[in-house]
Structure 1
Amino acid sequence: LRDNMDTNETMSVDILAEENFTTTGDECTNELPTVQEYLDGLTLPIAIIIAATVLLSIGTFSIFFKNAYHILHRTPKQFKTKSILLLTIYPLITLFGVVSVSVPRAFFLCDTVMHVYFMICAYVFFSLCMQYVDGEDALIKSTDSQTFSLRTPPLCCFVPLFKRAPVTKNRLRFVRMLIMQLPVVQTALFLALNVVFVENYPNFNRIILYFVPMIVISILLGVWGLNILVRMLAPLYSDLKLMGKYFVLQAVLILCRIQPLIIAAIVSSSISHCAFPNTLQVQKNAIFQLCLCFEMMVLSCWASLLYKSPFHHWTRLGVNDGELKKRRQTPPKIQHLLLQHE
């Protein structure tokens, strides 16, 4: 009898071990592979995606260096640093996209760097706009009494009663604080999430839900401030192409935050094989980074055209920094007439 019991126990253990092995091999798992496990189980589609992201990253860096050379040699010196910082976002994202595809466990760290750098660029864009118009005092003097408006997306529905008003120091300070909170708040939140990712990855997807409201509210406030700024300045300084420059920057946020949700839904419903190490998370991230690298290269080309004007036109005509400052102090309509005359 004892021998029969031992035999039954042995058979039970063997069956359980076989079931566990099947679960590990055939069903999806949330575990992320190490680099060695990832390389050992590398498939042809993933290898092609890695090679494509590397090529796209090299192409984006080539465009960036060409743009940086142009800015350093033809753009007035007061705009050089901030313009290059804004253009750096595109090759930086492709670089970390390559790292994210190549090292699966680094995907959230790479996503954090991309996210935080965008938030920094948002404030850099505000500072560059203020330099374009020669500071807040010059902006206040050059605008009329109905320039400032809070009724802009994405919070226009929540403030329908606010009418257009003149630009003042306090209103500009309010816009500045809306944008300035982005790098501060988002950096703090994502640092905390990285700690959770490292220490408690199995529960990460559940814990991150508690952070989402704070992340979304902060982003909405920051984007609201940027929209107020651009819609205030764009009609007055149309030659600066601020709306286009803002769009190519805002597109980064949309593509990095909304696009992954769409890709995740498509991949989850269309891919059936997700055995370790090519888990569902690995496949979703690989496809997303490939799309993102291509989009960053396109945006980099578009941004290079936007940042060449109007200062490219004035530099070609031999207008120096002092003359440029005088022109920026003139009313916007007169600036437009000067450009047409030249």
Structure 2
Amino acid sequence: MREYFTAINVPGITIFTLGGFAVILVLILYVDTLNYILKNAPSKAKTHTAFVLSVYPVVSIVTYCAIIVPRAQLIAEAITQGCFMACLYQLFCLMIAYCGGEAQVVRLVKDKHVNLQVGPCCCYPCCFILPKLTISKRRIQYLRLLVLQLPVVQGLVYLMLLVMWAEEESLYTVNYFYFQPIVLSSIFCGIWGVITTMKMLSEHLKDHYIQGKFFVLQLVLLLAKLQSLLGRIAVWAGWLPCKPPINPTVYANLIYNCTMLWEVLLLCSIARVLYQRYVPDLSSTKFNYAQNINVISLQKQQVPPCETVGVA
């Protein structure tokens, strides 16, 4: 560790200072957005919104830790991916909460069908044979389970990878790529469930900016995966210098973490703009629906008065 700090010298101090400044900005933006959400968001959506927004401070903190402590890179990647998966499930819950719950979702879209031909799993021309299903509470729960498997599967995979890494680093390196098909399949299925739900509710959530909120959240994973892959390619190709005690892998991780830190700051700023916009409370629709049912039932109960029949 001491050798690492000695080797990076003045540029390293500059990187640490600017990185700490970026983390502080992310925390300030998060607190400011959270304060607005607690005051103005619909009551059912407050907890889910706060959870979704937490991805930005969490990722920025663990990324900054990986800059200071290079050996924490795998742990930082595991936390980043796990946090994203949990927040993606919370985004699904947020869409349902915006509508007032699963029962209200069924009432809102009861005359429509679930279109299964959406990306990234079922957007191919051969998928036209997929049926359009009617919406029910059970099918919404199936979509929920499809998204919920994300944090569970990803957590188990990274747990096994961390155990391998703790046992022997070469064991982790050899088996890393064998786990990628499981990771990618889980991610594709989970994102497919979110997009299917989003398209199903697009007409009712058009004033909730849900597509933009999904996009800025999805970019966290896309940037992390893509830039991590580019870093590994750069190491394999020998494009980075080797100046002991800093090897090419450390250089690649340092570039990746510094870039990721400022990208998270940008995404957090965009998310702040999106989440501080007014969104209507669709739970009032539920109230109006119940009110109409009560009026109809009262009208049915009103019967003409009976005539009094005299008794001789």
TM over 0.5: yes
- 1:154 is paired with a residue whose SS is coil
Q: Report if the CA contact (8 A) 1:130-1:136 is conserved.
A: yes
Q: Which residue of 1 aligns with 2:177?
A: 209
1:247 maps onto 2:212 in alignment? no
- Distance in structure 1 (CA, Å) of the matches to 2:112 and 2:238: 52
Structure 1 residue 74: Cα displacement: 2.1
Structure 1 residue 270: Cα displacement: 7.4
- What is the 5 A alignment of 1:1-342? 35-156=1-122, 157=124, 159-266=127-234, 271-311=239-279, 325-327=283-285
Structure 1 residue 239: Cα displacement: 0.5
- Distance in structure 1 (CA, Å) of the matches to 2:15 and 2:262: 11
TM-score, length of structure 1 as denominator length: 0.78
Q: 2:135 corresponds to which letter in structure 1?
A: V
- Distance in structure 2 (CA, Å) of the matches to 1:205 and 1:46: 27
Q: Which residue of 2 aligns with 1:26?
A: none
Structure 1 residue 120: Cα displacement: 0.8
Structure 1 residue 329: Cα displacement: 6.0
Distance 1:159 1:171, change over 3 A: farther
Q: Which residue of 2 aligns with 1:11?
A: none
Structure 1 residue 104: Cα displacement: 0.8
- Distance in structure 2 (CA, Å) of the matches to 1:326 and 1:235: 17
Q: 2:40 corresponds to which letter in structure 1?
A: R
- Distance in structure 2 (CA, Å) of the matches to 1:102 and 1:86: 26
Structure 1 residue 327: Cα displacement: 4.0
Could you give the per-residue CA deviations for residues 319-339 of structure 1, whole angstroms, max 9, x where no partner exists? xx8xx63146669xxxxxxxx
RMSD over aligned Cα, in angstroms? 2.1
Q: Report if the CA contact (8 A) 1:101-1:289 is conserved.
A: yes
Q: Report if the CA contact (8 A) 1:53-1:97 is conserved.
A: no
Structure 1 residue 44: Cα displacement: 3.7
- 1:273 is paired with a residue whose SS is coil
Q: Report if the CA contact (8 A) 2:234-2:240 is conserved.
A: no
- Distance in structure 1 (CA, Å) of the matches to 2:52 and 2:180: 26
Structure 1 residue 185: Cα displacement: 0.8
- 2:31 is paired with a residue whose SS is helix
- 2:127 is paired with a residue whose SS is coil
- 1:42 is paired with a residue whose SS is helix
Deviates more, 1:152-161 or 1:105-114: 152-161
TM-score, length of structure 2 as denominator length: 0.85
Q: Report if the CA contact (8 A) 2:44-2:98 is conserved.
A: no
- Distance in structure 2 (CA, Å) of the matches to 1:293 and 1:268: 24
Q: Report if the CA contact (8 A) 1:89-1:117 is conserved.
A: yes
Distance 1:281 1:270, change over 3 A: closer
Structure 1 residue 94: Cα displacement: 0.8
- Distance in structure 2 (CA, Å) of the matches to 1:274 and 1:61: 35
Structure 1 residue 286: Cα displacement: 0.9
- 1:160 is paired with a residue whose SS is helix
- Distance in structure 2 (CA, Å) of the matches to 1:174 and 1:126: 12
- Distance in structure 2 (CA, Å) of the matches to 1:86 and 1:71: 12
